[in-house]
Amino acid sequence: MSKTHASTEDRYEPGSYEIRIKGHLDKRWAAWFEGLTITLEDNGDTLLTGPVIDQAALHGLLKKVRDLGMPLVSVSPVEPSPSTTLPLRGLRGTGQADASDVKS
């Protein structure tokens, strides 16, 4: 019998990400994305930027975007800035967004 060992190359390193969604996210959702910076772009997109501690946390953030019903434009790793050195501490909230939450 041979033993299979997980390669260290397969392990996730914490990092910072920029998640771009179509439409402007209302301010009341800021607590739902605790630990991330929310930037409303002039082109109508919203940028969620900040630290993500592991793949499970990243998938949790993407589920929240899905639950908002706002189209996901992109997910990109970014170089961390000094203001994004704290880890994301949990994913709170279970609210659902409706059409009134999205500004066209």
Are 71 and 21 a contacting pair, CB within 8 Å? yes
pLDDT tens digits for range 24-37: 998 888 899 988 99
Q: What's the chain's average pLDDT?
A: 77
Q: What is the mean pLDDT of residues 8-36?
A: 84
Report the percentage of the chain scoring pLDDT > 90: 54
Query: What b/e readout covers 5-24, taking b as 16+ CB neighbours within 10 angstroms?
Result: eeeeeeeeeeebbbbbbebb
pLDDT of residue 27: 86
Map out the domains of the chain with their CATH numbers. Answer: 13-79 (3.30.70)
